[in-house]
Copies of this chain bind each other. A is one copy, B any other.
Amino acid sequence: MESAKSYIEKNKQRFLDELIELLKIPSISADSAYKKDVLQTAEAVKKQLEKAGCDTVEICETPGYPIVYGEKLIDKKLPTILVYGHYDVQPPDPLDLWESPPFEPVIKKTKLHPEGAIFARGSCDDKGQMYMHVKALEYMTETNQLPCNVKFMIEGEEEVGSSSLEWFVTKNKKKLANDVILISDTGMIAKDVPSITTGLRGLSYVEVEITGPNRDLHSGLYGGAVANPINVLAKMIASLHDKNNHITIPGFYDEVEKLSKKEREKMAEAPFNIEEYERALDIDAVYGEKGFSTNERNSIRPTLDVNGIWGGYTGEGAKTVIASKAYAKISMRLVPNQDWKKITELFKNHFESIAPAGVRVKVKPHHGGQAYVTPIDSLGYKAAEKAYEETFGKTPIPQRSGGSIPIVSLFEKELKSKTILMGFGLDSDAIHSPNEHFGIWNYLKGIETIPQFYRYFTELSK
C-alpha cells in the first residue's frame, strides 16, 4: 500500500496550488463588504471535499454564514471522526505592513522555513490547516486506506465568534454524532518539538463607547471645563490593571483555576528562550502579571487587552478638538472555570460604575467562549501521540495555548465527545498579523500525520 509520504511527494505541487487558489478568496467574516467572497469560499470547500472522496457534501444555511458539512461513512461498526475547521479569515489590516498583498499568495523562504512558506491571510489560520485534512482524506480514499468513518464540519464565522455554530450543532446532534473531534487550528512548540494543545483560554470580547458633549468642541474654548471622552476612556482603561498588572474588576479572579506547584514545574520544562522571544518581537523586556512566567501569563492566566481604540482627529496634521465620542474594543482571555458570560457581566457592571460624571458609557458585549482543558489519557490523545511519534520520531509535548477556540467546550457539552487539537503552525507564523504564513514543510507534515491518527484511533477503539 502506498505510504502517505510517497503519495504526498507525487502530489505536492497540486496540494500547494489548490491551497493557493483557496487563499486568493478574501473570506473576511468580520467585514460584511466581503460577504460574496465568504460564500464563494464555502462553495470552493464543498467542491474540494467532494473531490477528496466525501459521499455527500452540503452547504448548510445558518442565521449567519453557512457551514460546509461532508461525510464518508464506510461502516456503522467503525468509529467516526469529526473534523472541524473554518474557512473564514481575520481582516488583513494594517495593509501597509504586508510585504505582499494578503490575498495574492506568494511562496518565500524564511529562516524557520528554508523549504519555503506560503504568505497569505488564512494560510495558517485556518485555511491551510483545515485543507491538510481534506488532502489527508484524499490520500486515504485514493489509496483505499480510510480505516473509519469521517465527518467534516467547516464553518465561516470562527473569526467573529462562531455565532451560528451553537445553533447548528444543537439542531444536528445526530448528524454530527462522533467518537472524537479532530481540529487543526493551533500551533506546535517548534518544528522539531511536536506538541498537542491540551488547554485553551476562553474569551470575552466587548466594545465600549464613551460619550461626552453632544458635539465635537473647540479644545480652546472648552478645554479644561468639560470631560474629554478620550482622556476619560484612557483613565478608565488604565484603572483596569493595578501596579502588579492584576485585573481590578471585582470578582474577576474568583473562579480562576489554581495550578499546583508540580503542574507549574512541568509547564516550565517546555523549551523556551526569553532572549529569543524578545528578539523575535524586537522588545527590550516582557511585561505582565507579577508572579508569573511569560509562558504562564499567556496560557494559564486570564488577561485584558485593548484590541483597538479610536476617537477625535486622527488625520494628517493637527485639529484642536475635544471629541464627542471615544471608542475601544476590549477582549479578555479567560482560563478554565471562568464563565465568559459571567465575566462579561462583571466587566460591564464595573466599567459602567467607574465612569465619572460628565460622560455616558455604553458597553456592547461582542462574543465569547469558555476555556477548555482536555485530559491526556483519552483514546484520542493516545492516538495523536502515536501518530506524531510515527511521523516526527518524537513524543509530542502537551501544551496549554493562550488562544481560544470557544467551540471546543460547546462540542463537549452538546456532542459529548473529546476534542484533539493537532496543530502544525508555529507562533512565528504571524496569524492575525500582517505577513501571515504557513511553512510548506508543516503543511505536508500535517497531511502525513493525520492519516496515522485515523489508523491508531481506529485500532485503539477496537
Q: Which residues of A contact B (CB under 8 A)?
A: 29-32, 90-91, 93-94, 97, 159-161, 187, 201, 203, 205, 212-228, 230-231, 233-235, 237-239, 241, 281-289, 294-295, 297-298, 301-324, 326-329, 331, 333, 356-359, 366-367, 401-404, 427, 430-435
Contacts and interface: CB of A to CB of B under 8 A. Distances in A.
| Centre residue among A212, A219, A329 by max chain B CB count within 10 A | A219
Contact of A287 (B161, B233, B357, B432): B357
Chain multiplicity (copies): 2
Given A225-B288, A320-B404, 4 more contacts: A216-B432, A221-B401, A287-B357, A305-B322
Contact of A226 (B286, B308, B358): B286
Contacts of A431: 218, 221
B432 A217 contact: yes
A319 B312 contact: no
Main secondary structure of the interface of A (DSSP, over half): loop
Given A216-B433, A225-B294, A225-B297, A306 B317 contact: no
Contacts of A286: 225-227, 358
A323 B310 CA distance: 13
A213 B281 contact: yes
Contacts of A217: 281, 432-433
A225 B316 contact: no
B308 A216 contact: no
A333 B220 contact: yes
A436 to B, nearest CB: 10
B333 A329 contact: no
A367 to B, nearest CB: 7
Contact of A213 (B31, B214, B283, B323): B283
Contact of A220 (B203, B234, B235): B203
